[in-house]
Chains A and B, each alone.
Chain A
Amino acid sequence: MTLELKNVAKRVGTDTHIFATNLTLATKGFNILLGATNAGKTTLIKLMTGLERPTSGEIWFDGKNVTGVSAQRRNVSLVHQFFVNYPNMSVYENIASPLRVARIRGPEIERRVGETAELLRLTPMLRRRPSELSGGQQQRTALARAIVKDSALVLLDEPLANLDYKLREELRDELPRLFEDRGTIVVYATSEPSEALLLGGHTATLHEGRITQFGATAAAYRAPPDLATARVFSDPPINAAAVVKQGGEVALNADVRWPAVGAIANAPDGEYTVGVRPHFVAPAQQSESAVGLDGRVLVTELSGSESVAHFELGDQTWVAQSHGVQAYEIGEMHRFFVDVSRCLYFGADGALVTAAAA
């Protein structure tokens, strides 16, 4: 079973929300739509549900053209970022409502609602109204409504974004289990790269209405096709700086230069943009090939076991992310080390310099 978008585009007035997009989604694992706010994730999801019609292009589902089919007639489920449930119905009736609309028999409804509630640990709350539940339970109810239908396509639009940290982790761990072996195409929109990496499957990165990359999550992370995609798929943001390649060396400025290794080695001389993920910028020398950068520490953040430092280098701000608690002095100079074998290089057009292209 597949969902295919063929040259699907969406324009509203003179604004293009989605540029012509080709995408084939399958049942295996999660399909993650990764993009910043306003990148077009929700629009794309609405197109997939049938709530909105594409301006041009076709949507095919399981070998059938469903472009003009309304959301009611497509076998889809949707979970919103906000906890959307029917306020006047009990949790039981909320979960049962898609089945009632589909005219399924009473005992069957009872059985399926019971099973789904058990799966989402909602059984003790079935008699309550959604407004009497915690945020996490409300979102579980919405998930239960999506799952109980056994629909062929489940769309999750940032379902965890409005939950607090603990609940988010808990529900994120459960999600893959909920959809295991259901033979459903699951689409999961998120703005957090870490969520994409945790949920695995396939990732499509969205940037300003365009899908810039689609592939297995880990592979997509390792080889972004261009700088914009690398920015989308990096948290904290990827460090980007202009460099000049000359001969066998890459120069960041007059003082900092390192040997051109990897894909850049065979590229022609000229100006490039180097992209360094923050966790390849270390506060101490870890390998022989690391090159030192002297920066003035501006801000430091400590998140659990990770230390993040923002430092000033020339007129740019760089970010370094490392394990453990690092002793940075704000306003002081510190020598950071870049693992040059992990650097990504982008050409003048923004495209990744690959070994093959060179």
Chain B
Amino acid sequence: MRRAIWLVPTLYIVFLMLPIYWLLNMSFKTTNEILGGFTLWPHDFTVANYVTIYSDPTWYLGYVNSLTYVSLNTVISVGLALPAAYAFSRYRFVGDKHLFFWLLTNRMAPPAVFALPFFQLYSAVNLFDTHIAVALAHTLFNIPLAVWILEGFMSGVPKELDEAAYVDGYSFPRFFFKIFVPAIKSGIGVAAFFCFMFSWVELLLAKTLTSVEAKPIAATMTRTASTAGYDLGLLAAAGCLTIIPGAIVIYFVRNYIAKGFALGRV
């Protein structure tokens, strides 16, 4: 029995990594090899797919566009959620609990419901096909999420810290930015990570609100597939590259996420 102790984790990791391996595997193959037969590793190894992505603006601008609106969204969401979460965690006001719950219910509406009104609205105010349009649309579900996460972290900071700072002579803004924000920096990291992730993987609103100038990478991938036949190697390479930003961000917040789980807010 004791010898088999490695078995379950190994199987778990194998199954977990298999699709990612297959994607990576495909990205280094030619389309002919992919369609030709079953090979466990690329026999006809090529980096041509990656070269295409890095040299063709319609491809790499997809990444630039996605990263632009995702970053914008993360900054807006966390920036607006900070004061809101502070109010929810520190003050009692009429309807505070209802408001907090109502905020969360925004998270429950499928984005598809908002696709059409948003499209109409953004077109009317000339924001269609801009990065800020997508960033603003994504705050619909990211601000409630960020408020929810940050409120948990803020409530974990004793109110006595606020009092101590006021008695020491700190004004509210100085206390907030010099003492309070550093005290919940792990919470800000976690909130930023989730905003980044949800905005990064959301496709429907991003696709609906853009056409050329701000087209996200996922949209580029679907459109390429339909026009130039199935260039599977190229799509696999693009897929591999979309994993990277998320992997980088999660590396930086990996320790904070556990803390978020402990607070029950992730």
Task: Please indicate the chain B residues that have their CB under 8 angstroms from the CB of A97 in the complex.
Answer: 168, 170
Say yes or no: is A245 at the interface (Cβ < 8 Å to chain B).
no
Do A88 and B167 touch (CB < 8 A)? no
Say yes or no: is A72 at the interface (Cβ < 8 Å to chain B).
yes
Say yes or no: is A145 at the interface (Cβ < 8 Å to chain B).
yes
Say yes or no: is B183 at the interface (Cβ < 8 Å to chain A).
yes
Contact of B164 among A46, A70, A78, A102 (CB under 8 A): A78
Do B167 and A78 touch (CB < 8 A)? yes
Task: Please indicate the chain B residues that have their CB under 8 angstroms from the CB of A78 in the complex.
Answer: 163-164, 167
- The main secondary structure of chain B at its interface with chain A is helix
Closest to A76 in B: B167
Say yes or no: is B161 at the interface (Cβ < 8 Å to chain A).
yes
Say yes or no: is B19 at the interface (Cβ < 8 Å to chain A).
no
Interface size on B, residues (CB 8 A): 17
Q: How far is the CA of A78 from the CA of B169 in the complex (A)?
A: 11
Contacting residues of chain B (164-181) with chain A, CB-CB under 8 angstroms: 164-171, 174, 179
A209 CB, nearest partner CB in chain B, Å? 20
Task: Please indicate the chain B residues that have their CB under 8 angstroms from the CB of A72 in the complex.
Answer: 166-167, 169-171
Task: Please indicate the chain A residues that have their CB under 8 angstroms from the CB of B174 in the complex.
Answer: 101
Do A71 and B183 touch (CB < 8 A)? no
Contacting residues of chain A (82-129) with chain B, CB-CB under 8 angstroms: 82, 84-89, 97-98, 101-102
Contact of A82 among B160, B165, B168, B185 (CB under 8 A): B160
Contacting residues of chain A (43-94) with chain B, CB-CB under 8 angstroms: 46, 49, 51, 70-72, 76-78, 80, 82, 84-89
The size class of the interface chain A forms with chain B is: 20 to 34
Q: How far is the CA of A203 from the CA of B100 in the complex (A)?
A: 45
Q: How far is the CA of A235 from the CA of B234 in the complex (A)?
A: 80
Say yes or no: is B57 at the interface (Cβ < 8 Å to chain A).
no
Do A84 and B160 touch (CB < 8 A)? yes
Contacting residues of chain B (126-170) with chain A, CB-CB under 8 angstroms: 158, 160-161, 163-170
Do A84 and B168 touch (CB < 8 A)? no
Say yes or no: is A207 at the interface (Cβ < 8 Å to chain B).
no
Do B182 and A51 touch (CB < 8 A)? no
On whether A98 and B168 interact (CB within 8 A), knowing A87-B182, A88-B179, the answer reads yes
Contact of B183 among A88, A98, A145 (CB under 8 A): A88
Q: How far is the CA of A106 from the CA of B165 in the complex (A)?
A: 20
Do B167 and A51 touch (CB < 8 A)? yes
Say yes or no: is A140 at the interface (Cβ < 8 Å to chain B).
no
Task: Please indicate the chain B residues that have their CB under 8 angstroms from the CB of A76 in the complex.
Answer: 167
Task: Please indicate the chain A residues that have their CB under 8 angstroms from the CB of B163 in the complex.
Answer: 46, 49, 51, 71, 78, 80, 84
Do A101 and B170 touch (CB < 8 A)? yes
Say yes or no: is A149 at the interface (Cβ < 8 Å to chain B).
yes
B 166-206 to A, binary, CB cutoff 8 A, 1 in contact else 0: 11111100100001001101000000000000000000000
Closest to B169 in A: A101
Task: Please indicate the chain A residues that have their CB under 8 angstroms from the CB of B158 in the complex.
Answer: 82, 84
Do A84 and B167 touch (CB < 8 A)? no
Closest to B166 in A: A71
Q: How far is the CA of A102 from the CA of B169 in the complex (A)?
A: 7
A87 CB, nearest partner CB in chain B, Å? 5
Task: Please indicate the chain A residues that have their CB under 8 angstroms from the CB of B171 in the complex.
Answer: 72
Do A51 and B160 touch (CB < 8 A)? no
Contact of A149 among B160, B165, B168, B182 (CB under 8 A): B168
Task: Please indicate the chain A residues that have their CB under 8 angstroms from the CB of B183 in the complex.
Answer: 86-88
Q: How far is the CA of A70 from the CA of B169 in the complex (A)?
A: 10
Q: How far is the CA of A85 from the CA of B168 in the complex (A)?
A: 11
Task: Please indicate the chain B residues that have their CB under 8 angstroms from the CB of A85 in the complex.
Answer: 164
Q: How far is the CA of A262 from the CA of B248 in the complex (A)?
A: 82
Q: How far is the CA of A49 from the CA of B171 in the complex (A)?
A: 15
Known: A51-B163, A51-B167, A84-B163. 6 other contacts (CB 8 A): A71-B166, A77-B167, A84-B161, A85-B164, A88-B179, A97-B168
Pairs across A and B, CB under 8 Å, 23 listed: A46-B163, A49-B163, A49-B167, A51-B166, A71-B163, A71-B167, A72-B166, A72-B170, A72-B171, A76-B167, A77-B167, A78-B167, A82-B158, A84-B160, A84-B161, A84-B164, A85-B164, A86-B161, A86-B165, A87-B183, A97-B170, A142-B164, A145-B168
Top-4 shortest CB links A-B:
A88-B182, A101-B169, A98-B168, A78-B167
